[in-house]
Structure 1
């Protein structure tokens, strides 16, 4: 099955952006060529699950360093660097990478589950837009949904009708996805984003009681807070590092500053790569969910707890 390509979509959208400086157009073209090679290399990885994770993360680090440094940071114009948050050329790499990681070759437990893996729009709530004076077919069934950066989900079809036989003319049908494992991917995690994630996690679990919510971030930009009183299952720091201080980032605002400080920025990226062990932790969380089975009475009585 074809995997989603959110990062490629961001590259092509950037190429079509009217504000993109002409000097950057061939550089984006070169990035698309580099992207295609990255995908070929990801698909060519073999070995045991652990070997695959190590190889996949190594390829992620190599490609992401190219995007961050050679494409964005080295641009002679300031557009790509200053508009990183809007263009999403950086964190969309993670969104595209995760489906390559969550595959049966790495996670055998997922084989046989008819799930959709990757960015998708997941069910949030349902409501009915109808009234006595203005009746609507099927009670006016409507679905609220939210885009998720990464999810392990299943398609869900909902039907509503005032007709017990669900006759076609009296029935409305809606299609959505129900998210079982939902993750939001952030480049930098600050307190505002943390609070937004808490609200999202609450909504996810209100919609699906058995769902799990993980917040994946690269750079920590806040004082860590406990997730215990929230609906977030865990915050995973993909680089296990803090964001560069604002006074350091200020030097990168223009090409001259980036050129003068390139060595320091490269060292920062090299010293803080994506960590294999945190991706393994994420995989193990999913593995634990897939291995959960309904308790057997005889086992519960023997143990004394469940």
Structure 2
């Protein structure tokens, strides 16, 4: 793997260390009286993992494959640490690994810096409505990972911070029919406020009945990273996911050129 000077996500304004936050919360709360074990795990495995990701600056296929290799090795260490499944699924220990990986994956896209984009997951803009008193209300929706822009807006002499999404990602350890329905609901809500947003699901493995997949969906694509639970992550799938997100963000920065005679509708 290549070695370069490290710049942190905090320094670039892209602070999205949600897995580190999860570890810190378990250390502070002494989760199941094993806060010390989490502290040791963080020092021995998480900190080196994080530093190696931050040292990778390229957006080439080789760089993405390097990031996948780091992710796979860290997942293996997390599985050993959680042997016996003593960490509850609800505590988000494993899901936040994939959420934070998205930040490492997209942090060096040139448009992220040039357009002043950032990463967030809470309170994403999903439209406007008017309440019973005639006041404007901003609708929001949460999603596991989102790339977008935070703007200040004023309605009726009140200032609001609005998180405009460009790409949203739901990150799942596995995806089943119920989870897919929830992802579709989230995508539908976000597209109600931002019709051009792309919404993806990445899941380590699939538990959806293939025969029940819809012909149309507000979710733009589902990427399944493993064939089986014990299978390694497929780097090519991550590269395809990365490329599709990169293309979606690149289109935002492109000026739409309409040449006549020719096609008038350019989306």
Q: TM-score of the superposition, structure 2-length normalised?
A: 0.84
Shift of 1:72: 0.5
CA contact (8 A) 1:95 1:118 kept: no
- 2:179 aligned residue: 193
Question: Using the alignment, how far apart are the partners of 2:127 and 2:57 within structure 1?
Answer: 41
Aligned pair partner of 1:79 in 70, 86, 89: 86
Q: How many residues align?
A: 249
User: Max radius of gyration: which structure?
Assistant: 1
Aligned pair partner of 1:29 in 23, 39, 47: 39
Task: Say yes or no: does 1:16 pair with 2:28.
Answer: yes
CA contact (8 A) 1:98 1:118 kept: no
CA contact (8 A) 2:173 2:204 kept: yes
Q: Superposed, which structure 2 residues align to 1:272-291 within 5 Å? A: 272-291=231-250
Query: CA 1:63 to 1:118, structure 2 compared with 1: closer, same or farther past 3 Å?
Result: farther
Question: Using the alignment, how far apart are the partners of 1:204 and 1:191 within structure 2?
Answer: 20
Q: Helix, strand or coil for the counterpart of 2:160?
A: strand
Q: Superposed, which structure 2 residues align to 1:39-188 within 5 Å? A: 39-45=50-56, 49-68=60-79, 70-73=80-83, 79-80=86-87, 83=88, 85-104=89-108, 107-129=109-131, 131=133, 140-161=135-156, 171-188=157-174
What are the superposed Cα offsets for residues 245-276 of structure 1, whole Å, 9 maximum, x if unpaired? Answer: xxxxxxxxxxxxxxxxxxxxxxx2xxx12221
CA contact (8 A) 1:157 1:176 kept: yes
Per residue, is there more helix in 1 or in 2?
Answer: 1
Q: Which runs of 5+ in 2 are unaligned?
A: 1-8
Question: Using the alignment, how far apart are the partners of 2:185 and 2:194 within structure 1?
Answer: 14
Question: Using the alignment, how far apart are the partners of 1:67 and 1:30 within structure 2?
Answer: 12
What are the superposed Cα offsets for residues 9-60 of structure 1, whole Å, 9 maximum, x if unpaired? Answer: 1112222346x333x3322111211211111111123556222111111111
CA contact (8 A) 2:23 2:93 kept: yes
Shift of 1:126: 2.5
Q: TM-score of the superposition, structure 1-length normalised?
A: 0.74
**Structure 1 segments of 4 or more deviating over 6 A?**
none
